[in-house]
């Protein structure tokens, strides 16, 4: 637990170190299912909004999917890791999306935006990494406009024992090996299974969202519960 806490304190540099391998490893390690999870989560945004905040935007795959599905006119993407943002910026330039996606380096636990700024907020595979989850959720609540929606996509732990067996084997034995081989960073890909197993999911996560002030909290599991989409509103 102590190790996990230390890693979360240096999370920006952990992602800086693996940034150039992040996309390809994501797709290899998830057997490309991550793309399906992102598509599904974006579909949960029911209407097109004017200005959306994508928290922990990383290399921008989620933000780009939001634009593809025409769910936001304009997106501000924030992340702690500058190297992740640089890769995201290249994709934005290549796809001529500069007018629609703007990136800035920010810490979600102390955002610099005014209260009630955004018409929707999204966060894919980010909350698990926050060094202070309640501060991160409080900040997202603060900058979201009333009558607006938040969508969070995050790994979870499957309930079924047989699925759990295969999941544990894959996450603790196979995934760190591939991760280390490709990225040469042993630490980062040991961190992934550790951070997933020690993170809350389902009802417990909804409780945290409610503590931050969100209402109408719901969740939907994907792929045997390996991943979960959370949705809620600021009334
Ligand atoms: C697993 S990546 C997810 C990236 C992207 N959303 C995606 O779907 O691939 C997690 C990201 O969260 C960022 N992150 C972690 N803690 C953060 C914080 N407190 N504020 C902003 N970004 C943070 C990391 O730098 C990293 O880029």
For ligand 1, say whether the CB of 80 is within 6 Å of any of its atoms. Answer: yes
Cα–Cα distance for residue pair 74/76, rounded to 1 Å:
7
Cα–Cα distance, 234 to 216 (Å, whole number): 9
- Asked whether residue 141 is assigned to any structural domain, the reply reads yes
**Structure-model confidence comparison of residues 60 and 27, the more confident one:** 60
Classify residue 69 by its DSSP letter.
Answer: T
User: Does 75 map to a domain?
Assistant: yes
Residue 152 neighbours by CB under 8 Å, 6+ apart? 122, 123, 124, 126, 127, 209, 229, 230, 231
Report whether residue 56 contacts ligand 1, using a CB cutoff of 6 Å: yes
Closest CA to 191 of 176, 170, 169: 176
Mutate which of 80, 82, 123 for ligand 1? The one with the most ligand atoms within 8 Å of its CB, which is: 80
Q: Is the pLDDT of residue 8 over 80?
A: no
Cβ of 79 less than 6 Å from ligand 1:
yes
Report the number of distinct structural domains present in the chain: 1
Burial per residue of 139-152, b for 16 or more beta-carbon CB atoms within 10 angstroms, e otherwise: bbbbbbbeebbbbb
CA of 134 to the centre of ligand 1 (A): 16
Does the beta carbon of 226 lie inside 6 Å of ligand 1? no
Q: Answer yes or no: is the C-beta of 133 below 6 A from any ligand 1 atom.
A: no
Q: Is the pLDDT reported for residue 107 higher than 60?
A: yes
- Structural domain includes residue 179: no
What's residue 189's pLDDT?
73
185: in domain:
no
**Lookup result for tokens 């698990």:** 128
Is 226 within a domain?
yes
Decide: 62 and 79 in contact? Cβ < 8 Å: no
Residue 228 lies in a domain: yes
The residue to mutate among 34, 58, 133, 228, having the most atoms of ligand 1 within 8 angstroms of its beta carbon, is 58
Please report, for the domain that includes residue 85, its CATH number.
3.40.50.150
In a domain, residue 175? The reply is no
Tell me, yes or no, whether 186 lies in a domain. no
Residue 234 Cα to ligand 1 middle (Å) = 22
Percentages (nearest 5) of helix, strand, coil residues in the chain: 55, 25, 25
The structure tokens 């966060």 sit at 123
When the pLDDT of each residue in the chain is averaged and rounded to a whole number, the result is: 93
Q: Say if CB 2 and CB 186 are below 8 A apart.
A: no
If we measure between CA atoms, which residue out of 30, 21, 90 comes closest to residue 60?
90
Tell me what pLDDT residue 39 has.
Answer: 98
**pLDDT for position 3:** 64
Statement: the pTM of the whole predicted model exceeds 0.85: yes
**Which of 30, 56, 86 best tests ligand 1's pocket when mutated (most atoms within 8 Å of CB)?**
56
Residue 183, pLDDT > 90, answer no
- Rounded Cα–Cα distance for residues 21 and 183 (Å): 6
Nearest-atom number in ligand 1 for the CA of 54 is 6
* Domain hosting residue 123, numbered range: 2-157+199-234
Is residue 2 pLDDT above 90, yes or no? no
Q: So what's the pLDDT on residue 181?
A: 81
- Per-residue pLDDT of 39-83, as tens digits, reads 999 999 989 999 999 999 999 999 999 999 999 999 999 999 999
Report for 5-9, 144-148, 168-172: range of highest mean pLDDT: 144-148
- Write down the pLDDT at residue 26: 87
Residue 84 CB less than 6 A away from ligand 1 = yes
Contact partners, residue 14, CB within 8 Å, separation at least 6: 7, 187, 188, 191
What pLDDT score was predicted for residue 171? Answer: 85
Integer angstrom CA distances of residue 87 from 15, 40, 82, 194: 12, 23, 9, 26
């Amino acid at each position: 637990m102590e190790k996990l806490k230390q890693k979360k304190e240096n999370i920006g540099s952990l992602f800086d170190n693996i940034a150039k391998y992040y996309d390809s490893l994501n797709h290899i390690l998830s057997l490309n299912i991550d793309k399906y999870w992102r598509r599904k989560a974006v579909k949960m945004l029911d209407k097109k909004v004017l200005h959306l905040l994508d928290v922990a935007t990383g290399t921008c795959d989620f933000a780009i999917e939001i634009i593809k599905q025409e769910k936001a006119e304009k997106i501000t993407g924030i992340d702690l890791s500058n190297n992740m943002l640089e890769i995201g910026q290249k994709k934005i330039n290549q796809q001529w999306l500069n007018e629609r996606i703007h990136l800035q380096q920010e810490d979600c636990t102390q955002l610099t935006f005014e209260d009630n700024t955004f018409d929707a907020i999204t966060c894919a595979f980010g909350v698990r990494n926050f060094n202070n989850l309640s501060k991160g959720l409080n900040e997202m609540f603060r900058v979201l406009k009333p009558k607006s929606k938040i969508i969070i996509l995050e790994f979870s732990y499957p309930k079924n024992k047989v699925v759990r067996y295969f999941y544990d084997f894959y996450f603790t034995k196979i995934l760190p090996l591939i991760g280390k081989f490709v990225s040469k960073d042993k630490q980062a890909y040991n961190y992934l299974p550790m951070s997933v197993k020690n993170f809350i999911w389902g009802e417990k996560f909804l409780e945290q969202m409610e503590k931050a002030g969100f209402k109408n909290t719901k969740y939907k599991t994907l792929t045997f519960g390996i991943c979960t989409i959370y949705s809620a509103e600021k009334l």
